[in-house]
Amino acid sequence: MADRVFTVLDLIDLDLKEHNSLNLRCIGGRRGLGRPIDIPDLNRPMGAIMGFFEDFAYQRIQLFGRGEASYLRRLENDGNIDSIKEMFSYPMPCCIFTHNYTPHKDFFDIAENAQCPILQTDLGSADFSSRIMRILSRIFSPRQVVHGVLVEVYGLGILIQGESGVGKSETALELIHHGHRLVADDVVEINCINGNTLMGAGANKIIGHHMEIRGPGIINITHLFGVGAIRDRKEIQLVVELEEWDSQKNYDRLGAEDHTVELLGVNIPKLTIPVKPGRNIPIIIETAAMNERLKFMGYHSSKEFNKNILKWIESDATRSVFFGHDDVI
């Protein structure tokens, strides 16, 4: 996963809002809150509490829904808690009870002796499962930190990269003036979700929506342009590389070839834009964003242009012009 251990306490302390909130609270086994969570998956331990421990996935978070809670209640009424004791002999990360269910005192005592955290949520099992799996997949996803500016232009996430001083932040500032949104400046943290989607965000939430502009210095985009000018996260769908204009270099003028760059094993469309005085880079990026959206919709401007040129060359009118002249000997 990431470059540090993710613990049960980290799971409880996650700053999650609205449809992402897990509503977790610790109701027992607090001494075990430092236990690491190593696998981003859940296990429903019905087999374990029934005394069947073959292939028991104890390394995962143990989720107790209504079915497991009902069977626990039956065991507690019968005074048969041997399977519960055996279950806690395994180093489970934690046990989570949905529907605000509170287990019996014997369950708490065994958990306390094993120093295994017992958590509780008011969410239903299905809702909680989908939320925590979505969150864990993001936390445990491959990640990379890159230098650049991430902006949203016409709904497209664009990562602007280039050498220091080439004008990345100034270009992003002009785009924000045009009504587009800033995601992160200078340092962008990229997460690969589901193996094919790259999500970018600021590496530091405190300074994520600030920009360093040579001259004015550090500016707060939220205070200057309002909350509508920022986003916390955005999928990266295009990489724009700004480079100083090189008169000896042949730049692509037709755009017939699609170029890509690999980030965390995912190929992302890439556009190289040479920078020199007089070129309006923000306008070019806006145009590139619209053109990329057309490609997503199945229309490739350069390829369509080449196709039309070939049709014109092969047309009857062209052949008549070519063959209509008398050869001069």
Q: Quote the pLDDT of residue 18.
A: 78
pLDDT tens digits for 192-232?
988 889 999 998 877 778 888 888 888 899 999 999 999 99
Residues in the chain: 329
Q: Quote the pLDDT of residue 296.
A: 81
Give the contacts of 249 (CB within 8 A, at least 6 positions apart). Answer: 274
Beta bridge partner(s), residue 95: 62, 118
Residue 6, token pair as written in the block: 């993710």
Active-site residue, from 147, 178, 205, 319:
147
Quote the CA–CA distance of 88 and 316 in Å, as a whole number. 84
Mean pLDDT of 76-93: 91
Active-site residue, from 168, 181, 231, 234:
168
SS3 64: strand
Give the contacts of 38 (CB within 8 A, at least 6 positions apart). Answer: 1, 59, 93
Active-site residue, from 186, 209, 231, 234:
186
Confidence of residue 54 (pLDDT cuts 50, 70, 90): very high
Q: Quote the pLDDT of residue 234.
A: 95
Q: Quote the pLDDT of residue 295.
A: 82
Give the H or E element holding residue 227: none
Q: Quote the pLDDT of residue 1.
A: 45
Quote the CA–CA distance of 128 and 139 in Å, as a whole number. 16
SS3 311: helix
Q: Catalytic site residue 316?
A: no
Q: Quote the pLDDT of residue 5.
A: 87
Is the distance from CB of 72 to CB of 64 less than 8 angstroms?
A: yes
Quote the CA–CA distance of 73 and 107 in Å, as a whole number. 10
Phi and psi for 210 in degrees, rounded to 5? -105, 155
Q: Quote the pLDDT of residue 190.
A: 94
Q: How confident is the prediction for the chain on average, in pLDDT?
A: 87
Q: Nearest-CA neighbor of 199 among 236, 172, 166? A: 236
Quote the CA–CA distance of 164 and 212 in Å, as a whole number. 12
Mean pLDDT of 177-195: 92
Q: Quote the pLDDT of residue 61.
A: 97
Q: Is the pLDDT of residue 319 over 80?
A: no
Q: Catalytic site residue 15?
A: no
Mean pLDDT of 90-107: 94
Q: Quote the pLDDT of residue 2.
A: 43
Q: Is the pLDDT of residue 258 over 90?
A: no
Annotate 75-106 with b (16+ C-beta within 10 A) or e (fewer): bbeeeebebbeebbebebbbbbbbeebebeee
CA distances, 177 to each of 51, 286, 290 (Å) = 64, 12, 18
157 vs 326, residue with greater confidence: 157
Annotate 234-269 with b (16+ C-beta within 10 A) or e (fewer): bebbbbbbbeeeeeeeeeeeeeeeeeebebbebebb
Q: Catalytic site residue 253?
A: yes
Give the H or E element holding residue 260: strand 259-263
Q: Quote the pLDDT of residue 317.
A: 58
Residue 104, token pair as written in the block: 């019996």
Q: Is the pLDDT of residue 175 over 90?
A: yes
Active-site residue, from 253, 316, 326, 327:
253
Q: Quote the pLDDT of residue 188.
A: 93
Quote the CA–CA distance of 15 and 321 in Å, as a whole number. 71
Q: Find where tokens 């052949």 sit.
A: 319
CA distances, 243 to each of 182, 251, 306 (Å) = 21, 11, 27
Q: Is the pLDDT of residue 60 over 60?
A: yes
Q: Catalytic site residue 104?
A: no
**Strand-pair category, 197-202 with 233-235:** antiparallel
Q: Quote the pLDDT of residue 3.
A: 53
Q: Quote the pLDDT of residue 31.
A: 94
Confidence of residue 276 (pLDDT cuts 50, 70, 90): confident
